[in-house]
Homo-oligomer: A and B are copies of this chain.
């Protein structure tokens, strides 16, 4: 065994890269390891015709203050999300055009009122411990769909809430715990921030793509890292932790930061075995189902016709799409999402068949020119070996009250990060970074209290 690190950070996504960078900045001898041949985790950028497209996490929101600060520090520049012109809401086989907020439309039911009720309930929660709320059990025992069916009037509003769930959480309202949903809403600061472009979660994109955040953090700020390094075991003893790498390598540290999402983290061999509560959690938080598509055109023809390319539909397969053009002519594209059960069904189709359905969708909304794209990109995150779903892991009913406490609770010398463990913007890049900083702080605290003799030995 060649080196003993203070900390090994497992996972080179945003949370792991930030955790390692923060540890390094605080004088900790840290090694960052990543299973892929790249950093970025659930952010992934690819260059097509000299433009970087994000196949994963994409937007920097108006209140994503940690992300803003990190990007500023790394000299990564934002560009505004285009949303001039008419948005489309496809409902009951009818196109409804609107500007600004969807609630300006004449809908069956009162959307603003419903949102206000959900926001109010969510505000009562501490997203760090939603299971401690007096009504936690009641809310965790039902799905979002149950609550909506019992409390929301108006077929249009119920549909809009369902799309919102699919787009924001990559899961069906019938799958997720209502308590977890409220914690998610609270962690973002409310419904409008999640849905919005200006000031909201979809405010800016990043020039050069989002993957570069992790790449720059790892390469420029951490320095000490290993790619293509898949962890298969985490074995703890009284003196430290041995991290077993596929292929036989063994790395040794005093502590580890485990930033892998719960379901995948459960696939590592732990010695001693995980406590039942943590193991149960890893069995109970599956990844969402999302298929991200990018259709590239010769020109942003929709703009000419007064469309923003922002659309939402109940007929799909695209549940929601946005303009993905660069303004300088390098990119003219629409980014669209297929989510939840649709993602599972379209995931079974061929690339050609999927493309056909997607561009027909755009043809319906933005005219026949949409049927002749220049290029088509698609990423089904369920097929990504080191993600096996996205954007985030969700909690089915009963999970948070059964074993939610295990999300962030260290196990011996192992601490946890990852956007699922965030208390702000759970599931977003912002949440990933927050968790990275929090985990770094925890580990610095641990190192500070280590016996001097052990520190001296290192």
One digit per residue, 1 when the CB lies within 8 angstroms of any chain B CB and 0 when it does not, for chain A 427-447 equals: 000000000000000000000
The residues in A between 245 and 300 inclusive whose CB is less than 8 angstroms from any CB of B are: 246, 263, 266-267, 269, 273, 276-277, 279-280, 283-284, 286-287, 289
The residues in A between 336 and 366 inclusive whose CB is less than 8 angstroms from any CB of B are: 341, 344, 347-348
Given contacts A397-B396, A402-B344, contact A174 B276 (CB under 8 A): no
Asked if residues B283 and A263 are in contact (CB atoms below 8 Å), the reply is yes
Asked if A146 is at the interface of the complex by the 8 Å CB criterion, the answer is yes
Chain B, residue nearest A289 (CB): B280
Asked if A377 is at the interface of the complex by the 8 Å CB criterion, the answer is no
CB neighbours (8 Å) of A389 from chain B are 280, 283
CB neighbours (8 Å) of A174 from chain B are 140-142, 397-398
Q: How far is the CA of A267 from the CA of B269 in the complex (A)?
A: 8
Asked if A383 is at the interface of the complex by the 8 Å CB criterion, the answer is yes
Q: How far is the CA of A382 from the CA of B281 in the complex (A)?
A: 11
Asked if residues A143 and B382 are in contact (CB atoms below 8 Å), the reply is no
Asked if A172 is at the interface of the complex by the 8 Å CB criterion, the answer is yes
CB neighbours (8 Å) of A383 from chain B are 273, 276
Asked if residues A232 and B283 are in contact (CB atoms below 8 Å), the reply is no
One digit per residue, 1 when the CB lies within 8 angstroms of any chain B CB and 0 when it does not, for chain A 380-392 equals: 1011010011000
Asked if A66 is at the interface of the complex by the 8 Å CB criterion, the answer is no
Chain B, residue nearest A345 (CB): B402
Nearest CB in chain B: distance from A332 CB, A? 31
Asked if A145 is at the interface of the complex by the 8 Å CB criterion, the answer is yes
Other CB < 8 Å A-B pairs besides A280-B389, A289-B402, 15 of them? A140-B174, A142-B143, A142-B174, A175-B396, A175-B402, A246-B269, A263-B283, A266-B266, A266-B267, A267-B267, A276-B380, A283-B389, A341-B402, A396-B397, A397-B397
